[in-house]
Amino acid sequence: MAFRFIHTADIHLDSPLRSLALRNSELAELVGDASRQAFAAIVDLCLAERVDALVIAGDLYDGDQTSMKTARFLASQTTRLHQAGIRVYMIRGNHDAMSRITKQLVLPDTVTIFGGRCQSVIQSGPGVDVAFHGLSFANPKAPDSLLPKFAAPQEGAANVGIMHTSLAGSPGHDVYAPCSVADVDGHGFGYWALGHIHARQVYSGASTLVMPGIPQGRDINEAGEKSVTLATIRDDRSVEIEERLTSVAQFERVTVDMTGASEWSEAIARIRAGLEQSRERVRSRYLVARLGLVGTSALSWSLMRDRDLAVAEAEQAAEQVGDTWVEKLELAVLAPGVGDLESVADPTLELAQSMHANAGSQAFRSDAREFVLKTIADLPPDARGFAGKDEAGLEQFLDDVLAHGVDLVTARLKAGATR
* Cβ 244 vs Cβ 277: under 8 Å: no
Number of domains in the chain: 3
176 and 196 together in one domain: yes
Instruction: Write the pLDDT tens digit of every residue in 186-209.
Output: 999 999 999 999 999 999 999 999
Q: Is the pLDDT of residue 300 over 70?
A: yes
Geometric angle at alpha carbon 209, from 208 and 210, rounded to 5°? 115
Do 215 and 294 belong together in one domain?
no
Confidence (pLDDT) at 418: 44
Say if pTM beats, i.e. exceeds, 0.85: no
Helices then strands, counting H and E runs in the chain, come out as: 11, 15
Confidence of residue 412 (pLDDT cuts 50, 70, 90): low
- pLDDT tens digits along 34-58: 999 999 999 999 999 999 999 999 9
User: Domain limits at 35?
Assistant: 3-245
Average pLDDT over residues 381-407: 71
Q: What is the pLDDT of residue 403?
A: 66
**Quick one: pLDDT at residue 397?**
76
Q: What is the mean pLDDT of residues 245-265?
A: 96
Pair 17, 119 in one domain = yes
CATH of the domain at 201: 3.60.21.10
pLDDT of residue 384: 65
How confident is the model over 393-412, as a mean pLDDT? 69
Q: Quick one: 176 and 262 in the same domain?
A: no
Q: What is the mean pLDDT of residues 224-252?
A: 96
- Residue range 23-29: mean pLDDT, rounded: 82
* pLDDT score of 374: 80
Residues 63, 133, single domain; the answer is yes
**Per DSSP, what are the bridge partners of residue 164?**
195
Q: For strands 119-124 and 129-134, give the pairing.
A: antiparallel
pLDDT of res. 417: 44
Determine the straight-line distance between the first and last CA of the chain, rounded to whole angstroms.
67
Higher pLDDT, 20 or 326: 326
Q: Which of 302, 336, 370 is the last residue of a domain?
A: 336
Regarding whether 268 and 151 lie in a shared domain, the answer is no
Q: What is the mean pLDDT of residues 314-341?
A: 87
Number of Cα atoms under 13 Å in the Cβ half of residue 137: 24
DSSP H helical segments within 282-390, as ranges? Answer: 300-305, 307-321, 347-359, 362-378
Looking at the chain, the whole-number percentage of residues with pLDDT higher than 70 is 81
- Do 386 and 326 lie in one domain? The reply is no
Could you tell me which residues come within 8 angstroms of residue 34 by beta carbon, excluding any fewer than 6 positions away? 216, 247, 248, 249, 286
CATH of the domain at 268: 3.50.80
